[in-house]
Chain A
């Protein structure tokens, strides 16, 4: 029998061997990449493993003393949990991945994507050099040529159709710095039509949550859920979308013997671990929540003190909830009374309770209203602002939170400064640029179809076009598009092309565009799906693993990622591309005035410092690059549950991990960050707070300020409004300001320094003084159960546009047609037509969509990764066993899924399962590369086609937009399924 000694002392010999191979000069980095790509790419036998080939060089004689192994730390680029990636780098080649044990967020863990992330950098299928489509043929060009041609075309279109004719799509995979830079770019170019993935994921969350209590983000953290006694999931499949978060969630369930309630039309992998599974009809979230509240109010289970002290307008909710008797709830949602009562009891009595939601709730025509209902449930039961409670909104991409914060949004400037004069002037001051010059960059809009004209200033203050509707802004007649001209160019940086509903409309629009620029590590669906022949440019961008910068996880913690390796092939990072383009367009000097640029690459640290200088409103002011780097270095010191470091630590003492925003004041005052928003049980200097007094002081005779509620140790022991310099003076606290701070405030305020608020005080003085007094400079207000500025101030149920229950439409119709975001929203007409035509008879199955754990977003990146692609090789539709039997469909066979608009159809494999109930089908949204039954592999530039292609679900998704944010409806439409 063979035996072998095993000892544990050999240390890092493996990597040293590798290092020696690289050092021997027999292999350059590029050939290494090529070889390793080959090994990973196909059916190569195990014997030809390419790392081994490299290591042969060592065996050939080099000694083991090669260059040392460097450990680089970055953040996984997939979901928003923020898992630390530890990379082992030898001679500039990423050779291995180790668990990042020290991170309090992931503690070494990854999901399939994180554990395979090394391949993203090595991938042979990435774009390697700039390409241009010339008469339908992909042609290699140089970077300079590409930037020149793109810039010239943009200027030409600007002349003809205005700045708004160019549409900008940024990315939730950007670093904070790149997000900020792109928003700034939009401002300098002169448009507000600059958007990113948040539009289609949590825009409704941000709108709903911010309109309730002040800030549009997850209130607590993944780690804090360990404190929860009851978890209620609605429209969240964390097990597949946020697998590492499940570590904390399952720990909570186990350690507290807690309740884990999963409400979902589909029996998901998350539901499999629930203690209670609630199946309800897609699109009836509000009736479910109102159904719970009906029992809560009926039995007096609400938190009366909390409501009295901290909530405005709950009585208006009671009136609406009273309509949702158990019978009506069951009629609409399908959930029986006993179950409803049980979960209502748990959520209101077995506290702390937290509500977790995701895209299952947000991607609806009633997305914002859904979110509002969730917030109201938390408020009614006092489940917010404490450990173990809160609205735990799990976001979907690495930095979708940060990119939203930093203004890749058509309605805001960076950090939620609105599109108003004061905000523009604030940023003009931060940027050190003339406000009038900025204004002059914008279009003047002529009067059209009876709508008044807009001046440059008015246009500057008008939200842009949402990413869900850009195709309509290209396809619709000019007079329906409320801007100077229709969309004629798209600059897409890091955004999939299969992520928005109604792909047939998008294909038409793509073919109409004069210019399409895709700047991405992969060609994306945009490059392959249409019949474009010219005017398309593909710019190879590196992944954010190949660049420095910070990322904001879902729990608002910022983490600094360091460049692991140099950008692969000829790719460049986002900063450099934006700098080159700004230079070409002539405003680089202005835009990068206070930012160091070396070899065309702007410094990430300087960008963050500029964010710090302007980010007062959201508390992005305290997270200096130095502090963030210290956090990454000291990860192990942060507590698993509280995320706090011991107070006596010299570098990060008392800080919460990643300085979760808001982190108030200048970095020097060392605010620790805010791990739980609105937590009155902590001093504001320890991360405490209260609801934001954002909506005024009173309404209809009722106060909007908190009553008898304030954060721990506050000098003011009741509600109070937002702080201004004038208020400081009234309280007699202005003497606490330094002379320098006062000078800055006076400079900003000009004639009226008293009006200078905490949010535009560039000195940070107002914030500093408030913190010293234990008060929250944003005021101490009530959260709003009635948000009077929204279309439905108290959420009401509205049937989906394409509903399987036309009988309910008369009672619960969608909102009337209206104009939103420069375009008409004709949802009501579409719903009416669908009911009149009896669409639900021809298309009797509800179609919903969602995530797979192996892929992410549009999926081009993950489908190009063979380690992941192998695990999901076919696009599929989940069909209920009974529906399948009725249609003669066998598990694994091909079927056609037909949609009710545009005669859309997709050819996919059937997965016959009881995961979905009868009359419900579900498809993952990560696939593309097939269109209506046709394989489009040949449309990709040679060698860049993803390993796995498939139909996109959005080929069959349909009309429907949230009135507040333009969110598309991808969770409820109708379809028919037939054996192919």
Chain B
């Protein structure tokens, strides 16, 4: 990571405009321009990067030399595969261990009420799956930039791998937009229910029910879900901003900026993938019945009472005709 920091520092220094060499005091007349010639070594000591003037209207061409390219290369080829590998494999390992030690969180079928309550409406589910599906492609194609040539290319050969990566690049660039849209929608529909409150502290203290047998109280979203929401929000925004900058290279930031930007995009990206792996685990394999909420959108009232008691109370209070929550008429989430 120290390299990333160095890049960051370099970018800061450079963006301060210190790159164009120092002004000469007074008139240049009377001087010997030959003996005063600039010297690469000295310039690089002073400025880290060499910028000058070019006549073509391409600002990046005016950078003569940016040795930081070598540092970014060390980050990308030296550090990033390890960071990514540890984050993702580590998460998978943790989940596997959790699965085998704790097992699947079962739903007690005897307690099933038979009555369904609508937990996520169609638009919410659309939003979730829009974001989720594009995220999966983005994650895989993103990881391909790091691991493809190390794992896939030896298996399928350079031509097939290049073709795949080319499509992967298009997919990554184009699916970024539905992903960003999904993030935006999520913010609109779920932000209010994800604002942390006192209930969350109790929920966390109780370990979310995973540690003991009792189910702590929770609103529409419990603290664990809120954490996932905020990971997705903040991660998504970070990925969006850095991603857009990468899509329009050297328009907002210079080459050192883009190096730093890429490093941020890559690191947040792999951590994001690792976090979402956990989310996928709990939403599917890790907890019985959880999937239904995003599948059909309806969950059993008993399950809902156990896991989101405060939310169910709220819904019932809102509904004049009492417990007819499972009726054909969908009840808005709010």
Interface centre among B27, B56, B57 (most CB of A within 10 A): B27
Which residues of chain B are within 8 angstroms of A267 by Cβ–Cβ distance? 28
Cα A279 to Cα B31 in complex, Å, equals 10
Contact for A339 among B23, B29, B33, B55, CB less than 8 A: B29
Given A870-B56, A871-B56, A872-B55, the answer on whether A278 and B30 have CB atoms closer than 8 Å is yes
Number of A positions contacting B (CB below 8 A): 27
- Whether B34 lies near A917 (C-beta < 8 A) is no
CB of B32 closer than 8 Å to a CB of A: yes
- Whether B55 lies near A277 (C-beta < 8 A) is no
Cα A271 to Cα B30 in complex, Å, equals 11
Given A871-B56, A873-B56, the answer on whether A273 and B34 have CB atoms closer than 8 Å is yes
Which residues of chain B are within 8 angstroms of A274 by Cβ–Cβ distance? 32-34
Which residues of chain B are within 8 angstroms of A854 by Cβ–Cβ distance? 55
CB of A276 closer than 8 Å to a CB of B: yes
Which residues of chain A are within 8 angstroms of B29 by Cβ–Cβ distance? 277-280, 334-335, 339
Which residues of chain B are within 8 angstroms of A871 by Cβ–Cβ distance? 55-56
Given A870-B56, A871-B56, the answer on whether A279 and B28 have CB atoms closer than 8 Å is yes
- Min CB distance B93 to A, Å, is 33
> Which residue of A is nearest B34, CB measured?
A275
- Whether B33 lies near A277 (C-beta < 8 A) is yes
Cα A334 to Cα B28 in complex, Å, equals 13
Given A267-B28, A279-B27, the answer on whether A273 and B33 have CB atoms closer than 8 Å is yes
Contact for A873 among B27, B33, B57, CB less than 8 A: B57
CB of A885 closer than 8 Å to a CB of B: no
Which residues in window 80-124 of B have CB below 8 A to A? Answer: none
- Min CB distance B38 to A, Å, is 10
Which residues in window 1-44 of A have CB below 8 A to B? Answer: 2
- Min CB distance B245 to A, Å, is 23
Which residues in window 25-57 of B have CB below 8 A to A? Answer: 27-35, 55-57
Cα A360 to Cα B28 in complex, Å, equals 19
Cα A256 to Cα B31 in complex, Å, equals 20
Cα A367 to Cα B118 in complex, Å, equals 94
Cα A733 to Cα B31 in complex, Å, equals 59
CB of A651 closer than 8 Å to a CB of B: no
Contact for B30 among A273, A336, A872, CB less than 8 A: A336
- Whether B33 lies near A272 (C-beta < 8 A) is yes
Cα A873 to Cα B55 in complex, Å, equals 8
Cα A155 to Cα B34 in complex, Å, equals 61
User: A255-291 interface mask toward B, CB cutoff 8 Å, 1 = contact, 0 = none?
Assistant: 0000010000001000111111111100000000000
Cα A142 to Cα B34 in complex, Å, equals 58
Cα A272 to Cα B55 in complex, Å, equals 17
- Whether B33 lies near A271 (C-beta < 8 A) is yes
Which residues in window 227-275 of A have CB below 8 A to B? Answer: 253, 260, 267, 271-275
- Whether B32 lies near A275 (C-beta < 8 A) is yes
CB of A914 closer than 8 Å to a CB of B: yes
Which residues in window 437-495 of A have CB below 8 A to B? Answer: none
Which residues of chain A are within 8 angstroms of B33 by Cβ–Cβ distance? 271-275, 277
- Whether A277 lies near B31 (C-beta < 8 A) is yes
- Min CB distance A763 to B, Å, is 54
- Min CB distance A281 to B, Å, is 11
Which residues of chain A are within 8 angstroms of B34 by Cβ–Cβ distance? 253, 260, 273-275
**Could you tell me the dominant secondary structure of chain B's interface residues?**
loop
Which residues of chain A are within 8 angstroms of B57 by Cβ–Cβ distance? 873-874
User: B120-140 interface mask toward A, CB cutoff 8 Å, 1 = contact, 0 = none?
Assistant: 000000000000000000000
Cα A280 to Cα B33 in complex, Å, equals 16
Which residues in window 1-40 of B have CB below 8 A to A? Answer: 23-24, 27-35
Which residues of chain A are within 8 angstroms of B24 by Cβ–Cβ distance? 914
- Min CB distance B160 to A, Å, is 15
User: A553-575 interface mask toward B, CB cutoff 8 Å, 1 = contact, 0 = none?
Assistant: 00000000000000000000000
Which residues of chain A are within 8 angstroms of B32 by Cβ–Cβ distance? 274-277
Given A271-B33, A272-B33, the answer on whether A277 and B56 have CB atoms closer than 8 Å is no
Which residues of chain A are within 8 angstroms of B27 by Cβ–Cβ distance? 279, 917
- Min CB distance B29 to A, Å, is 4
- Min CB distance B197 to A, Å, is 51
Cα A277 to Cα B28 in complex, Å, equals 7
- Min CB distance A715 to B, Å, is 48
- Min CB distance A433 to B, Å, is 52
User: A909-953 interface mask toward B, CB cutoff 8 Å, 1 = contact, 0 = none?
Assistant: 000001001000000000000000000000000000000000000
> Which residue of A is nearest B53, CB measured?
A913
- Min CB distance B283 to A, Å, is 43
Which residues in window 189-227 of A have CB below 8 A to B? Answer: none
Which residues of chain B are within 8 angstroms of A277 by Cβ–Cβ distance? 28-33
Interface centre among A267, A335, A872 (most CB of B within 10 A): A267
> Which residue of B is nearest A339, CB measured?
B30
- Min CB distance A183 to B, Å, is 39
Cα A275 to Cα B33 in complex, Å, equals 6
Cα A872 to Cα B56 in complex, Å, equals 7
> Which residue of B is nearest A876, CB measured?
B55
Which residues of chain B are within 8 angstroms of A279 by Cβ–Cβ distance? 27-29
> Which residue of B is nearest A336, CB measured?
B30
- Min CB distance B153 to A, Å, is 12
Cα A274 to Cα B34 in complex, Å, equals 6
- Min CB distance B23 to A, Å, is 8
Which residues of chain B are within 8 angstroms of A280 by Cβ–Cβ distance? 29
Which residues in window 314-370 of A have CB below 8 A to B? Answer: 334-336, 338-339
Which residues in window 868-895 of A have CB below 8 A to B? Answer: 870-874
- Whether A914 lies near B28 (C-beta < 8 A) is yes
User: B211-245 interface mask toward A, CB cutoff 8 Å, 1 = contact, 0 = none?
Assistant: 00000000000000000000000000000000000
Cα A272 to Cα B32 in complex, Å, equals 9
Cα A311 to Cα B182 in complex, Å, equals 91
Cα A873 to Cα B34 in complex, Å, equals 30
Interface centre among A267, A277, A914 (most CB of B within 10 A): A277
- Min CB distance A234 to B, Å, is 14
Cα A854 to Cα B27 in complex, Å, equals 28
Cα A873 to Cα B57 in complex, Å, equals 8
- Min CB distance A621 to B, Å, is 44
- Min CB distance A204 to B, Å, is 26
Which residues of chain A are within 8 angstroms of B35 by Cβ–Cβ distance? 275
Cα A340 to Cα B55 in complex, Å, equals 35
Which residues of chain A are within 8 angstroms of B56 by Cβ–Cβ distance? 870-871, 873
Cα A2 to Cα B34 in complex, Å, equals 45
Cα A871 to Cα B55 in complex, Å, equals 6
- Min CB distance B20 to A, Å, is 11
Cα A871 to Cα B58 in complex, Å, equals 10
- Min CB distance B235 to A, Å, is 36
Which residues in window 150-200 of B have CB below 8 A to A? Answer: 158
Cα A874 to Cα B158 in complex, Å, equals 44
- Min CB distance B293 to A, Å, is 49
- Min CB distance A966 to B, Å, is 33
Which residues of chain B are within 8 angstroms of A271 by Cβ–Cβ distance? 33
> Which residue of B is nearest A917, CB measured?
B27
Which residues of chain A are within 8 angstroms of B28 by Cβ–Cβ distance? 267, 277, 279, 914
Cα A445 to Cα B223 in complex, Å, equals 107
Cα A346 to Cα B333 in complex, Å, equals 92
Cα A279 to Cα B35 in complex, Å, equals 18
- Min CB distance A701 to B, Å, is 45
> Which residue of A is nearest B158, CB measured?
A2
> Which residue of B is nearest A870, CB measured?
B56
Chain A interface residues toward B at CB < 8 A: 2, 253, 260, 267, 271-280, 334-336, 338-339, 854, 870-874, 914, 917
Task: Jot down 16 A-B pairs with beta carbons below 8 A, ordered by A.
Answer: A2-B158, A260-B34, A273-B33, A274-B33, A276-B31, A276-B32, A277-B32, A277-B33, A279-B27, A279-B28, A871-B55, A871-B56, A873-B55, A874-B57, A914-B24, A914-B28
Further 12 A-B residue pairs, CB within 8 A, beyond A277-B33, A339-B29, A873-B56:
A274-B34, A275-B33, A276-B30, A278-B29, A278-B30, A279-B28, A279-B29, A280-B29, A335-B29, A873-B55, A873-B57, A874-B57
What 5 pairs across the A-B complex have the smallest Cβ distances?
Answer: A279-B29, A339-B30, A275-B34, A274-B33, A275-B32
